[in-house]
Chains A and B, each alone.
Chain A
Amino acid sequence: MKNLMLLEWSKLKWPVLISMIGLTLTVSVLTGTLYKGYSLEHDLEAWEIGIEIIVFLFPLVAVIPVCWLMYFERKDQFLMYTLPRVKKSRYLWSKWIVVASSSFLIMFIAMFIGVITALYFKPEITPVYGLVDTATGNTIPRLELQHFLGSLFVHHPLAYGMLLGLWQGLLSAIIATLGFVISLFVRNIFVILTGPFIYVMLENFILSLLRYESFRIYISFNPEFYNASKYGYWPLLFGPALVLLVSALTLFYFAKIKKVTVYPS
């Protein structure tokens, strides 16, 4: 298994490294520049402003660098050559592990370096408080009161950034799993690479329409001002759980109902 995974890594190495470096630079540059037009209370807010566009594009970032591999291996019938050497399930599992962990790595590294840029490299901000205390009439800090995990965000921003980076990496791996499942059965590269993004957009639209905004995977990816005391933490798990469910249903539909085979039959 280890050798198989190393083999898969060698195939994905360059696209993953290039995407990681590109995304890290983008996040760092956006974190270091965009915040200047905003009134902030805390340095880490610069990172939240910088990653807004990445949050929107994260289903594409999670899938494009890694999910093309299966499409080409099916297209050029490379899979046939693996049959005499390795069991189908072992090959596919090792490939999924590398695809999901590469996607995790790209997102986590880029986001975490963005956090470090916001906290240590960017010039320190002058805090501007926007919340007015009705009793005194003075402006007071709002982040600790209103931000998701406010206390951790204000007092241990590095830990908050690292934990959220890990969570974002995990969500990225879950989305890559959906892309990987699609790539096992579909022969259209556009559906494989952009299908998860379209899914996330649809999920976002439908849940907004049904007034379940807090259940959206976008909120889960970047909770910012998500009110955990009001809704609890479990709605944040709904989005990723739904993606896993959709992946399982896709797998079931193609394998059992449509009877599509991964390997050429």
Chain B
Amino acid sequence: MSDPSANNTGLDGARAWIMRQGRWSPFEVAFWLAVFIPFFFFPTYLTLASQIAIAALFVLSVDLILGYAGIITLGHAMFFGLGAYAAGLLTKTGWGEPLTGLLISGAFVALVGFLVSFIIVRVQHLALLMITLGLGLLTMELANSMSWLTGGTDGLQGVSVWPIFGTFDYDLWGYTAYSYTLIVLFIGVLIARRIVNSAFGLSLRGIRENLNRMPAIGAPHQRRLQVIYTISAGMAGVAGALLTQTTSQVALDVLSFQRSADVVVMLILGGTGRLYGGIIGAIIFMVARDQLAGINPQYWYFWIGILLMIVVLVMPKGILGFLAQIWERVRR
């Protein structure tokens, strides 16, 4: 008879390790305190701040599949855009309640993501890049040609969203918009934290590191990848829906390749596979775009291109990964 206690301590040890991973670090607490700064010091930038929060949620959704599960995507704007259109069209049918609108849009996009995931998990490398790129472009062409539904290149106009809880209406300064997007982002981060600091999240990292070995140790990859892809799609859809609800319109560019590329750029700038990397990347990217585009809108991509090349060559783990490395070195 084998000794059950040895097995038990091993399992308990693993459980304790996972619990340890999920603890709140002082940096995280500091970050969530810092998000209140715009309310007090930059009230004129609250609209930008809410845009950043939306972008951060979108980046977070990509980090879940790209950073943790290793699924490269060049077409995630597909889900963002579908969420944006779903939320917009929902208000057109006469239901403008924002919270249920967010949930319905997210659920719809998650369903689409689930269907797409059957294709995604079957391909790798260049074919994966091309299929994600192709699906993104395909959705955009479809939205463009179905102008009776989506408004085509003119965008979807006349989106009217009811006040949140019937009381908080969207103000010109963006107090409500920022608070609303921030709360949704926080919930998104909570969910993402729970996922990546679980046994399931750990198995995703295993799949990222070695796709063939995971089934060999009893963790089939396809089902797991489908689950995380569906969650990621839903989260991207919620981010898109937030954009519709806070700006009261949908432009065709929510589905554009540019948006898919931008979100991956933000993630790489910040650092993949570390939750806050993408968020930091989103902040840097959006603030830089706001400032540089003010100086010279045509050439802002020049600087982003240079920054991207430097980050890839010098800081392969992103800015946050680079800082973490320095922090490790200083502590020793």
Do A and B bind? no
Q: Point out residues on B near A: beta carbons under 8 Å.
A: none
Q: Point out residues on A near B: beta carbons under 8 Å.
A: none
